[in-house]
Amino acid sequence: MKKIGLLLLICLPLLLAQTVVYTNAAVVAWDAVTKLADGSPVPTGDAISYEVLRAPAGNKASAVVVGETPQLQFAVTFPSEGDWVVGVRAVRTTGTERLMSDINWSDVGGTPNPFVLRYYRGPAVPGNLRLQ
């Protein structure tokens, strides 16, 4: 039993590891939503779209919606330097009602490969290159 506990302690950081990608823009993708929260199929005639959000890592309360799409991917850009997370939620439109799922964030364990997007501007190109 102690060996199993030790193995879990060693493997836990690996299971919770996040990939950090250095970029100022990324295309994220997700699986289509075909069922309601109770497991029943989305009724015929209802539309499913997806809201895409971005937030500074560690501050999801300040998330902003960067777009909505019926597609299963979306390009996200970042307005300033720092670490960013991306979220997506399903939006079901039935008649005049819009119902939203919880947000699936890029940095949580439920994401197959959790990730954070890190954006830092590079320095300017040196000028006046010459022979000495």
Backbone phi, psi, residue 4, to 5°: -65, -45
Task: Identify the segments of the chain with pLDDT beneath 70.
Answer: 1-17, 109-110
Residue 117 has what pLDDT? 93
Assessment of whether the complete model's pTM goes beyond 0.85: no
Q: Report the number of secondary-structure helices (H) and strands (E) in the chain.
A: 1, 9
Q: Indicate the DSSP class of residue 32.
A: P
Residue 10 has what pLDDT? 38
Residue 17 has what pLDDT? 63
Residue 91 has what pLDDT? 98
Q: Which element (helix H / strand E) includes 15? A: helix 2-15
Domains defined for the chain, CATH in brackets? 40-121 (2.60.40)
Residue 39 has what pLDDT? 95
